[in-house]
């Protein structure tokens, strides 16, 4: 099993739709999780941090299910500008400090 798994998509949705992505992780000791947005040929940009059960920021909601070891990202009222790849990242504390393991990302295309 991969450490962090995401459905690659693409998810093609109409503008205004609600869309949800899931991300599963294998390390049950992980305590913090992050969603990043990455546009084509650009760097990942932090979207949300999740340290407890979830987080909400405007149209974006992230939820953590520790028992099933997955986190989800919900986007409400999708905009054309939301089209991007969404990367899930799981934190692991090692002897050398914290490090993130990324999923391969889920591609979202919002259409008119």
Q: How far from chain centre, in Å, is Cα 6?
A: 8
Residue (51 or 77) nearer to another protein, CB: 51
DSSP assignment of 42-104, as one string?
A: S-EEEEEEESSSEEEETTEEEEEETTTTEEEEEE-S--GGG-EEEEEEEEEEETTEEEEEE--
DSSP, collapsed to helix, strand or coil, labels residue 16 as: coil
User: Residues 31 to 50: which contact another protein by CB under 8 A?
Assistant: 31-32, 34, 41-46, 49
C-beta of residue 9 within 8 angstroms of C-beta of residue 98:
no
**Smallest separation, CB 106 to another protein (Å):** 11
Which backbone phi and psi does 17 adopt, to 5 degrees?
A: -75, 160
Position among 87, 106, 108, 110 found at the interface with another protein (CB under 8 A): 87
> Cβ closer to another protein: 15 or 45?
45
Q: Which residue has the tokens 């390390």?
A: 27
Judged by CB under 8 A, which of 59, 66, 76, 99 binds another protein? 99
Does 22 sit near another protein (CB under 8 A)?
A: no
Residue of 4, 23, 84, 108 interacting with another protein (CB under 8 A): 4
**Residue numbers of the site for another protein (CB under 8 A)?**
4, 8, 31-32, 34, 41-46, 49, 51, 87, 89, 91, 93-94, 96-105
């Amino acid at each position: 099993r991969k450490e962090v798994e995401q459905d690659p998509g693409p998810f093609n949705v109409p503008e205004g739709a609600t869309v949800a992505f899931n991300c599963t992780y294998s390390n049950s000791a992980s305590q913090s999780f992050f969603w990043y947005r990455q546009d084509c040929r650009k760097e990942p940009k932090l979207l949300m941090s999740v340290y407890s059960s979830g987080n909400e920021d405007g149209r974006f909601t992230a939820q953590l299910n520790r028992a099933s070891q997955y986190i989800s990202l919900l986007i409400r009222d999708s905009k054309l500008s939301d089209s991007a790849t969404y990367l899930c990242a799981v934190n692991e504390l090692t002897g050398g400090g914290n490090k993130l393991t990324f999923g391969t990302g889920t591609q979202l295309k919002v259409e008119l």
